[in-house]
Amino acid sequence: MQDRIVITGMGTVNPLGLSVKESWENTIAGRSGVALITLFDSSPLQVHIAAEVKGFKPENFMDAKEARRRDRFEQFAVAAARQALAHSGLEVTDRNSGRIGVIISSAIGGLYSLQEAILTNHTEGPRKVSPFMIPMLMANGGAGMAAIEFGIKGPCFSVASACASGADGIGTALMMLRTGMIDAALTGAAEATITSTGVAAFDRVGAMSRRNDDYSMTPQPFDKNRDGLVMGEGAAVLVLERESSAKARGAEIFAELAGYGATADAYHVTAPHEHGAGGVAAMLMALQSANANIQDVGYINAHGTGTSLNDQAETRAIKAAFGDLAYKIPVSSTKSMTGHMMGATGALEAIFCTQAIREGILPPTINFQTPDPECDLDYVPNKAREANVTLAISNAFGFGGHNAVLAVRKYS
């Protein structure tokens, strides 16, 4: 019988908190992480709101000198990874370090450092550009810095598939564990794109909410009056292990990572397929990977960005995958609270699925006021709900037509 792959540790820094416990409490309470931008002067832009990580001090998680040599997204990655390792109780030793993988993804990488380097080169000349600029901007920097920080010598890389990066990275770790290539993995994603360039670029795509004067009510996934996504930032990392390895060291097991599906729309560089065909295939693939069927699913953590095209396409995809059952399965978008953390969101939402299964409570979709006739499922509006869930799936759909779905099962 194939070893099951289990979750033994979790860590995060995100707009709702600097730990899993704090983040989950705020999620279940339906609190929003959206506020006016403080990281830079947004006055020249049309968007003045974001979901920033608040109160983060990198020196609380790493050496202060090393922190200065790391981009903000790499600081987030190391902080979340440190929490996840501590939570799991997994000790990295000379004996096991080569059997642990680090797959910490990022869609964009060190945008802070890249923007700063370009401005410095333009205004002060090339000799003033930081010698640490390349390792600070590279998308695999979060994985590399975590491996260095904790002495992990197994496979180490980052997956870049836009907003599906975190889920794809976790799914890749799952497959590596199933083949026996490694015994454990630190896996998730980190993102820090709340810069003037990042916000301006996503706004130019037409994806951003401009509800600057009433930001307490945005984003509004699946609501008729939604006006776009709100950019978020942060990191989420899980420790995955083969069940035999976890049991051998007496680890607490929080859930089973049961399945993974990934597809491409091959349709449009930013817009999802109108009928969500790629999402349908990815959801069904994840269930097949988990040896499960549609009747087993008790909760869906939706991609749910709060853009009209995404919300309608995802709703159609869920209905196409689950048929009449779609109306009986609770669906929620935690991006209504965290904002869209780009590549990192899928990793955080895998943690939220794990917590929903463990705690028997489903996070809400906040800011849901006016139903959209095109979005007619049960979106757990505004208040958390008690529920006994055995299997949950998490959807992550990205620019470029990337679709990644994870299936998380209650462990027994």
Encode pLDDT of 282-295 as tens digits.
999 999 999 999 99
Same domain assignment for residues 214 and 274: no
pLDDT above 70 covers a percentage of the chain that reads 100
Query: How high is the pLDDT of residue 1?
Result: 60
Give me the domain span that covers residue 305. 259-409
Report residue 251 CA to chain centroid gap.
Answer: 24
Could you give the CA distance from residue 135 to residue 113 in angstroms, rounded to a whole number?
A: 10
**Of 223, 248, 273, which marks where a domain is finished?**
248
Cα distance from N-terminal residue to C-terminal residue, the chain? 16
Same domain assignment for residues 315 and 289: yes
Residue 343 to residues 156, 204, 261, 412: CA-CA distances in angstroms? 17, 19, 16, 31
**Of 209, 226, 248, which marks where a domain is finished?**
248
The token pair at 224 is 């008729």
Q: Is 243 contained in some domain?
A: yes
Q: What is the largest CA-CA distance in the chain?
A: 63
Contact call for residues 393 and 322 (beta carbons, < 8 A): no
Same domain assignment for residues 369 and 302: yes
pTM score above 0.95 = yes
- The residues, ordered by sequence, that sit 6+ positions from 275 with a Cβ below 8 Å of its Cβ are 313, 316, 317, 320
- 126: number of Cβ within 10 Å: 9
> Taking residues 28-34, what's their average pLDDT?
98
To the nearest whole number, what is the mean pLDDT of the chain? 96
Query: How high is the pLDDT of residue 254?
Result: 98
Banded pLDDT at 208 (limits 50, 70, 90)? very high
Q: Is 254 contained in some domain?
A: no
Return the beta strands (E) in 285-401 as ranges: 297-301, 331-332, 361-362, 385-386, 391-398
Same domain assignment for residues 313 and 216: no
Q: Is 175 contained in some domain?
A: yes
Q: Indicate if 156 belongs to the active site.
A: no
- Marked catalytic residue, from 87, 156, 273, 340: 340
| Cis bond upstream, residue 219 (ω within 30) | yes
Res 410 pLDDT > 70: yes
pLDDT digits (tens, 9 = 90+) for 296-305: 999 999 999 9
Same domain assignment for residues 171 and 28: yes
Q: Is 103 contained in some domain?
A: yes
**How many domains, the chain?**
2
Q: Is 11 contained in some domain?
A: yes
> Taking residues 208-226, what's their average pLDDT?
96
Query: How high is the pLDDT of residue 323?
Result: 97
Same domain assignment for residues 218 and 267: no
Same domain assignment for residues 327 and 302: yes
Could you give the CA distance from residue 284 to residue 261 in angstroms, rounded to a whole number?
A: 7
Contact call for residues 89 and 246 (beta carbons, < 8 A): no
- Residue with the two structure tokens 């990042």: 198
Same domain assignment for residues 117 and 213: yes
Res 2 pLDDT > 90: no
Res 373 pLDDT > 80: yes
Give me the CATH number covering residue 146: 3.40.47.10
The token pair at 301 is 């953590």
Same domain assignment for residues 233 and 300: no
**Of 248, 273, 298, which marks where a domain is finished?**
248
DSSP 188-199: EEEE---SHHHH
Q: Is 253 contained in some domain?
A: no
> β-strands 391-398, 385-386: how paired?
unpaired
Q: Indicate if 163 belongs to the active site.
A: yes
Q: Which residue type, as a one-letter code, is found at position 328? A: K
Res 233 pLDDT > 80: yes
Could you give the CA distance from residue 405 to residue 171 in angstroms, rounded to a whole number?
A: 8
Q: Is 186 contained in some domain?
A: yes
Q: What values do phi and psi take at 352, rounded to 5? A: -65, -35
Same domain assignment for residues 234 and 331: no
Q: Is 197 contained in some domain?
A: yes
- Marked catalytic residue, from 163, 273, 375, 402: 163
Same domain assignment for residues 264 and 186: no
> Taking residues 77-94, what's their average pLDDT?
98
Res 328 pLDDT > 90: yes
Could you give the CA distance from residue 299 to residue 329 in angstroms, rounded to a whole number?
A: 6
Res 66 pLDDT > 70: yes
Same domain assignment for residues 236 and 268: no
Q: Pick from 89, 16, 72: which is nearest to 349 by CA?
A: 16
> Taking residues 40-52, what's their average pLDDT?
97
Residue 130 to residues 67, 76, 108, 120, 365: CA-CA distances in angstroms? 14, 20, 19, 9, 42
Could you give the CA distance from residue 75 to residue 113 in angstroms, rounded to a whole number?
A: 12
- Marked catalytic residue, from 87, 156, 273, 303: 303
DSSP 101-154: EEEEE-SS--HHHHHHHHHHHHHT-GGGS-TTHHHHH-TTHHHHHHHHHHT--S
Could you give the CA distance from residue 135 to residue 153 in angstroms, rounded to a whole number?
A: 18
Residue 231 to residues 1, 193, 208, 336: CA-CA distances in angstroms? 43, 8, 8, 11
